[in-house]
A and B are shown apart, each in its own frame.
Chain A
Amino acid sequence: MVRGVAQRLVAVALVALGAGCSSLKPYPNDGPIKNVTIRTAASAGSVFSSVKVELDVHGVDASCATRYLGTLQLGQPTVAVSLPPGRGSLLTFQFLSSNFLGSSRGSIGRQVLITPRPDQRYEIDVTYRDDLYDVVVRERVRNDALREVALRDLSACR
């Protein structure tokens, strides 16, 4: 059961020398409408360490199978993203930390399953501070107000 839970949540962390030497496929992010705004605030809390945030985007089909679409670097405070409305997208926010000179690296992920509604806008706040990370998804509703959306992972797609 523990293994099942761990696999479903797919929150796998790695600490590996050389983990940063990746060549990930960039997410095209070329949809006609940028319906998701991601705000990122990440701080390692020390001059001897650093943290960066990446977003892996997977498409999710009707049978809940996933297909990797690419990765976005969330290096800017705000990034506008286009996700296909009416279809499931699995977002995995990867927090990649490393210490001085890269002698130790770590990666931990937070998975969010989202199906954007047509003509709807979403805002996602991603934070990493004092070794604590958080992802909050809000949907812009009437009167321009924001409503927090409960986070779901892929296990919700069954």
Chain B
Amino acid sequence: MMNRKRLVALLVASTGALVLQGCGSMPQTAEEFRKAAPGAMLGKTDTYEVNRAYREVSATFQRKAPECLNMAVRTVSQTSTSYQNILTEYKATVVPAGERAELHLQQLHKGGGVIYASKPPEGGMYVIVADAYPLPGNRTRMQLYGPSIGYDVVYRAIRGWAAGDNLGCPDLTKIGK
């Protein structure tokens, strides 16, 4: 039997975090997403620090994000009463700006199985934005914005890249699980 948390996680993932995006206009930029996420239903922000120099964190994001996150994922789920087949394209963008390095993850469902309440931006809806800020003593502060459930595997991957202690890629088929 599917528990309530898992059901909500599946809904968030399979509908492209529509709950997070809300029924109003969808954030069209990373900055709009940063402003919308903290107050959105099932949205969250998270902050932590890592013992690693900012420039190294930024370099790891530039290497790992395209390698691990620019991909298409097809999910097929079937129960006795339903069948769902969705192709989801993920797009990562890293902006290694001066005062902070930004990692944006966008998600676009293809094939018509998911109906968007409003037009998604080019590349898909923003689902996660992670910002890295330099701190004294070769440390870095991470600030993340995104859904509160369903994307734990991506958050853990980003944390590993930031800390430099795990450079693995997230299994994107685990989103929503």
Which residues on A are within 8 Å of B, measured CB to CB? 1-3, 5-7, 9, 11-17, 95, 97, 104, 106-108, 110, 127-134, 151
Contacts and interface: CB of A to CB of B under 8 A. Distances in A.
A110 B74 contact: no
B3 interface: no
Given A2-B89, A2-B123, A5-B91, A131 B74 contact: no
B171 A127 contact: no
Q: Mostly helix, strand, loop or mixed at chain B's interface?
A: mixed
A134 B71 CA distance: 15
Contact of A97 (B76, B124, B171): B171
Interface of B: 66-67, 70-78, 89, 91, 108, 123-124, 153, 156-157, 160, 166-174, 177
Given A108-B172, A132-B160, 12 more contacts: A3-B89, A6-B70, A11-B70, A12-B74, A14-B76, A16-B74, A106-B173, A108-B73, A108-B173, A132-B170, A132-B171, A134-B169
Query: Which of A17, A127, A131 lies at the interface centre, i.e. has the most chain B CB atoms within 10 A of its CB?
Result: A131
B70 A9 contact: yes
21 contacts: A2-B89, A2-B124, A5-B70, A6-B72, A12-B71, A12-B72, A12-B73, A13-B171, A13-B173, A14-B173, A15-B76, A16-B74, A16-B76, A17-B78, A97-B171, A97-B173, A128-B171, A131-B171, A132-B156, A132-B170, A133-B168
